[in-house]
Amino acid sequence: MVLAIMAALTSIAAPPLRQLLSRNQLQVAQTDFIAALQHTRGTAITTGRRTLFCPSRDGQRCSEETRWDGGWLIGHDVDHDNQPDNGPLRTGRGYDKISILGDSGRRLVRFQSDGTAVGTTNTWRFCRQGQPDQALVVVLSNSGRIRGAPASAAQAADCAQTK
């Protein structure tokens, strides 16, 4: 009898628990991404050097894509070739089964020594395929302001359809 009650309770609680864990993983990815952007901006300001934040699959060079779910890196770019000089300062990993998509055409962020990101603003969408209701965004403005928010319905639908 006790086992039957436990089985019934478990079957009722499992789907909401999975949804809660999925939402939490998206929030962790969003928070880590915001922290990496803030670290990049802070590095540019404190060192007085142009600093890149870009997607990277190998952790050494910026990739030519707008998908960020394979990882990212931070590095100085004094020679303006959109690659880190003398290797990356810091790298980040991707997240299992989470898509991170930047605006089309934007494959990196350049913070200037004053903390601005003029010309490289972006909105990143964080989601799981087929789950638009949980999608989140990170927004970077020209002034260097970084914020996280829930995705709009259009952003969520677009993100959840990607593979």
User: Which one-letter amino acid corresponds to residue 128?
Assistant: R
- Per-residue pLDDT band for 71 (boundaries 50, 70, 90) equals very high
Q: What does the pLDDT read at residue 24?
A: 87
- What is the pLDDT of the chain when averaged over all its residues? 88
Q: What does the pLDDT read at residue 131?
A: 83
Question: Is the predicted pLDDT of residue 8 greater than 90, yes or no?
Answer: no
- Per-residue pLDDT band for 10 (boundaries 50, 70, 90) equals low
Stretch 64-84: mean pLDDT: 93
Any idea what the CATH number is for the domain that residue 98 is in?
Answer: 3.55.40.10
Q: What does the pLDDT read at residue 91?
A: 96
Choice between 89 and 15, residue whose per-residue pLDDT is larger: 89
Give me the DSSP letters along 78-145: TT-SSS-TTS-SEEEE--TT-EEEPPTT---EEE-TTS--TT--EEEEEEETTEEEEEEEEEE-TT--
Where in the sequence is the domain holding 75, given as residue range(s)?
2-160
Please report, rounded to a whole number, the percentage of residues in the chain having pLDDT higher than 70. Answer: 88
Phi then psi for 23, rounded to 5 degrees? -60, -40
- Per-residue pLDDT band for 96 (boundaries 50, 70, 90) equals confident
- How many domains in the chain? 1
Question: Is the predicted pLDDT of residue 41 greater than 80, yes or no?
Answer: yes
Question: Is the predicted pLDDT of residue 14 greater than 70, yes or no?
Answer: no
Q: What does the pLDDT read at residue 130?
A: 80
